[in-house]
Structure 1
Amino acid sequence: MIQDDARAPVRSTELTRFRLAPNPGPMSLHGTNSYMIAAAGSDSVVVVDPGPLDEEHLRELSQFGAVELVLITHRHADHTAAAARFAELTGAPVRAADPAHCHGGEPLRGGEVLHAAGVEIRVLATPGHTSDSVCFHLPADGTYGAVLTGDTILGVGTTVLDYPDGTLADYLSSLDRLESLGPATVLPAHGPILPALDDIVRAYRDHRQDRLAQIRTALDELGPGAGVHEVADLVYAAVDPSVRPAAELSVAAQLDYLRSLPN
């Protein structure tokens, strides 16, 4: 069990701290990591993914300076539920790729470069987990930079594709984009901080290819028209029932990808 003191904001890189939100669960693992970005000596901070609507959590996120900007990695509620309230508390604009999750700020654009709290933040469009997923690259954060990856890259396990909103074709393209950033530090929204983004991406890609091979084998056994439930029964037979719906989403995404390939 996570103790209360383990939720206190802690230093993650030269330019970031994070606080673990009190929302553990099968999909959120120990909870959502909400990040604070600021250069040394800055009087303001940028907050990424304020998380669930929890007043204590929001107070902790604003204790290191005036909140200048709030950024959202993607639309899921464990990242966005507190966004409107946090904007109300701090007066800071909230920006997300999806306009529905913007509060007083404009939608984010892939390739956009932001400057806030003394830090350069590059917005990377990384659809796949969801269509609106973005990552935030901090090129000056340490020797190789750092990337806040939301749910596109996790600290443990692999990412669910929220099909049909998220697709495998998009996700594989996003992995290529992230790999090009080299051995940057990975700052995921769930799980521990990881080194060497490029190595992690290659492991993720290998995992996806292994799953696709398993899906192909299942289709050979069941027939090319097999449905999601039948394939999941073979490929994800050992999965915990609490995450079976997520497994079926991934199967659906992989089937769609395979059936879109030229014969």
Structure 2
Amino acid sequence: MSGVIPGAPLPGVGGPATDRAVCVLAPNPSPMTLDGTNTWIVSEPGSDLAVVIDPGPLDEGHLRTVLRTAEERGRRIALTLLTHGHADHAAGAARFAELTGSPVRALDPAQRLGGEGLHHGDTVTTGGLELRVVGTPGHTSDSLCFHLPADGAVLTGDTVLGRGTTMVTHPDGRLGDYLDSLRRLRDLASEHGVTRVLPGHGPVLGDALGAVEYYMAHRANRLAQVETAVEAGYRTPAEVVAHVYADVDRALWPAAELSVRAQLDYLDEHGLI
């Protein structure tokens, strides 16, 4: 929710972020979505097939821009993948499937359209492209990341943002799961050559390990602040938010309250409050 991770400038519409990944920014900026939702077109160099990750909101102009961007690069959309089911990432998926004829694959069965499910450890191959599915629950229970080994990159949806930090969407999202997911991403960065984060919102990050370690430190710090606030007599989630998140834009307090509820559950589960 607060704190800024330095990052490279966000590629513009059709702008390349790696040899294989191109970002198309959806026109849905807000305090929650930052500059807007990043829709990713990913393809192997020389291939005529592409995968789209998170087609974004149900915005006809944006969906057609994604399709046109792929076509201008000589690519046909063969598959659509979802990092999770939040509307700013997935609401346009059904219409995008109509426009492209491509199936939609997701962890949540309710989000799939003519495609198989996705699970941690799966490998998706299309037109020579290889994407490895990384289960990263916490922001939501259905959150996934996609490891792009050929580019040393990971597409993180809302699990790691390009600017600021994400929320744990209580009660679907759970803090314990989220901390485990951050550890999984840390291992990916430290042991498997991942250097870049291609997020669902905000700029591309050039230091994946540094970004994940920042997130882990931030979460530990916030958790300690919440625990201290409870010990000081702040009992309700709203009271804790007003005390702990006083440095955060009040427009983000409703989202902060979801994270606080997740933190209170975590502290209670571990006998810390």
Answer whether TM exceeds 0.5 for this pair. yes
| Distance apart, 1:13 and its partner CA | 0.4
1:3 match: none
Deviations 1:113-137 (CA, angstroms, capped at 9, x unpaired): 1101321100011000000000000
Identity %: 55
2:257 match: 248
2:51 match: 46
2:247 match: 238
Greater CA deviation, 230-239 or 209-218? 230-239
Greater CA deviation, 61-70 or 80-89? 61-70
| Distance apart, 1:56 and its partner CA | 2.4
User: 2: distance between equivalents of 1:254 and 1:87?
Assistant: 37
Q: For 1:147, give the aligned amino acid.
A: V
1:195 match: 206
1:23 is paired with a residue whose SS is: coil
User: 1: distance between equivalents of 2:241 and 2:13?
Assistant: 39
How many residues are matched?
A: 253
Question: Do residues 146 (structure 1) and 149 (structure 2) align?
Answer: no
Q: For 1:15, give the aligned amino acid.
A: R
1:116 match: 126
Q: For 1:102, give the aligned amino acid.
A: R
TM-score by length of 1: 0.93
1:13 is paired with a residue whose SS is: coil
Question: What are the ranges of 5 or more consecutive residues in structure 1 without an aligned counterpart?
Answer: 1-5
User: 2: distance between equivalents of 1:237 and 1:155?
Assistant: 22
Q: For 1:17, give the aligned amino acid.
A: V
User: 1: distance between equivalents of 2:13 and 2:220?
Assistant: 38
User: 2: distance between equivalents of 1:196 and 1:242?
Assistant: 29
Question: Do residues 14 (structure 1) and 23 (structure 2) align?
Answer: no
Q: For 2:99, give the aligned amino acid.
A: L
Q: Is the 8 A contact 1:181 1:197 kept in 2?
A: no
1:205 match: 216
TM-score by length of 2: 0.90
2:107 match: 97
Greater CA deviation, 77-86 or 61-70? 61-70
Greater CA deviation, 58-67 or 11-20? 58-67
Question: Do residues 178 (structure 1) and 189 (structure 2) align?
Answer: no
1:245 is paired with a residue whose SS is: helix
| Distance apart, 1:213 and its partner CA | 1.2
Question: Do residues 221 (structure 1) and 228 (structure 2) align?
Answer: no
Q: Which runs of 4+ in 1 moved over 4 A?
A: none
Q: For 2:83, give the aligned amino acid.
A: T
1:83 match: 93
Q: Relative to structure 1, is the Cα distance of residues 117 and 59 closer, same or farther in structure 2, using a 3 angstrom cutoff?
A: farther
2:150 is paired with a residue whose SS is: coil
| Distance apart, 1:220 and its partner CA | 1.4
| Distance apart, 1:259 and its partner CA | 0.8
Q: Is the 8 A contact 1:49 1:72 kept in 2?
A: yes
Q: Please point out which of 51, 56, 60 is paired with 2:61.
A: 56
User: 2: distance between equivalents of 1:205 and 1:33?
Assistant: 23
| Distance apart, 1:227 and its partner CA | 1.7
User: 1: distance between equivalents of 2:246 and 2:42?
Assistant: 41
| Distance apart, 1:199 and its partner CA | 1.4
User: 1: distance between equivalents of 2:26 and 2:12?
Assistant: 7
Question: Do residues 160 (structure 1) and 170 (structure 2) align?
Answer: no
| Distance apart, 1:7 and its partner CA | 5.0
Query: Structure with the greater relative contact order (CA < 8 A, sep ≥ 6): 1 or 2?
Result: 2
